[in-house]
Structure formats: structure tokens, C-alpha cells
Amino acid sequence: MGISLIEASKRYSSMGQDWESAIVQQFADSSPVLDNLTFRTIQGNALRYNRQEKMPGVGFRGLNESFEESTGVMNPQVETLAIAGGYLDVDLSLMRSFGEGIRSDEELNKVDSLALSWTRTFFKGDSSINPREFDGLQRRLTGTQVIDAGNSSGGDPLSLRALDRTISRVRRRRRSRGDDDLRLFMNLEMKLQMQAAIRDTAVAGFITLIPDDFGREVMRYQGIIIEALEQDNNGEDILPFAEANPGGGTPASTSIYCVCFGDLMVEGLQNMEIEVRDLGELQSKPCMRTVVEWEAGVAVMDGRAAARLQGVIDAPIVA
């Protein structure tokens, strides 16, 4: 059973490891994906498992008859981990001027950068282009788990009917109570279009703003929390209006993802906790070096744990 980064942060804190707790907490706070993923710790750098693609058949029989033999379809899967991280050098002159605290600030900035890079990979990662990273949802999702917003050249506005169809393709986690394990991910401009739709009587009613436990307004569609993704660590949009349109034309569309998080659904994998190590002063230059490293990946354990709505342009939402 996996644990969330928030739970891992609390565990570090209970053991008196306050700096490790702050690092993990910062990592979770930097990304709505990492804030929702649970991570299963594995041995080695890969997980082998079987994913159910088709359930076995069942039926009825009469007296003195036998049941028809039927077995399900299980496809073997292998998920490999990717090593992410980087070095952080702080000049000794800066430390003399601003104190040791500047290292802590820079380390937290490095964690922010890693979290944003990891989030981009969660959606856009492609091991065929960069074999050092894991595959993201855009490459993983195929067949009925990819829904077209329409077939117009140049893309189509988001329709609530298409969004409903996308949500219907995602299987909720077993023993789930409500929609707390589901999330909708879109870029910030699309979330602003959703917010504008609240004021449109033609589509309003299904999009709501509900205060959370801290009094902050949380946008939901059909009870599912909407998460906005902005830019990665390189300042580039994670879900830009630059994808190919199902109907052709100049690439100008984006995708919206519905994801079910949790055990046996969409899970994070790791063989180590996020590690921040002090390597001390370098011989090559007057700097103190810190390394941030994490060996982790993603597993889509259920073929219907996520779906992608593609071909959405930046335009007002329609019913």
C-alpha cells in the first residue's frame, strides 16, 4: 500500500527529522500531481505486474449442464524507475554575506524545480525521445481512453458532454466513497474558461466553487476537483495549446486529463525517499554542493484509471 508525500512528511517529523520533513512537504506543495499521488516503495529499479484488460465471462446454466469456460485477459507490464535530481552549488561568499540559511533556501528552490520537472514528465514524458525519463499519460493512454473534443480543423471548444464522456471512461477506485480519488487536470487558461462558465446560464450548475476545510474556494465539476497546471521548471506550459488537433489544421489545442489516484489505479513508484545530501566544499571552486536525488516513476495499474480529452482550444465552454 502506498503512502502520500504528506504522510511521508509527517513520518519524518515524528522521527525528529525536521529538514527531511520540510523537503518532502515542499515537494508535495509544488505540484497538484505530487500532492495527490501515493507512492509504493519497491525493491530494485522496476516493477513487474499484470494489468487486467478483460474480465472473465460468467453466465447461467441449466440442470445437468456445465458452465462455459472463460478466462480474463491479463497483460504483463513492466514499470521502470527514472533517476531525477541535480546539483546545487552555493558560493562561500554568499554564505558569508547571508549566512547558512541561504543554502536551505536554495535547496527548497531546487526541490520546487524538481517537482515541476517531474510533473511535466507525468503528462508529457516520452522514453522513446529521452530514455532517461518515464512515459507520461499522453503516451500511455490509447484506444477508448482517448476522447476527441471534436473533428474540426484547428480544434474544438470544450463541451461539457465531451468532458462527461471522458469522466465516464475512468474507473473509480474500489471501495471509493465519492469523488475524492478523482482529479481533472487542465492548463490555467482552461480553468479560467471553466470559471467564466459559472456565469453562463447555458452551462452553469455543474461547475461549482465550494470552500475547503481552510475556507479556500475549490472549483469542482460534477463534484470532481479541478487542478490547474501552469509552467514547468523551464518556464514552459505543461499542457500548452500546441498539440495536434484530431481534425487537423495548425496545432492549437490542449488536453484535459481525468485521473483516479490510489492503490491499483494510478500510483507512484519509488525505491528511495527524496534524498538531499550535503557533499561539502568543492575542490574545483569555492562552493558548497548539495545533491537532490529521487529514483521514482509511475504505474497505471488499471487500464481505465485515467483518460485524456484531446483537441480542446482556448474558447468559451459549450454545453
Domain ranges for the chain: 3-55+74-133+266-300, 142-265+303-312
Q: Which of 34-43, 64-73, 151-160, 284-293 has the lowest mean pLDDT?
A: 64-73
Q: Does domain 3-55+74-133+266-300 have CATH number 3.30.2400.10?
A: yes
Residues of the chain with pLDDT > 90: what percent? 55
Lowest mean pLDDT among 120-129, 138-147, 203-212: 203-212
Question: pLDDT class for 227, splitting at 50, 70, 90?
Answer: very high
pLDDT digits (tens, 9 = 90+) for 167-179: 999 987 655 555 5
Q: What local confidence, expressed as pLDDT, does residue 241 receive? A: 96
What global pTM score does this model have? Answer: 0.87
Amino acid at position 196, single letter: A
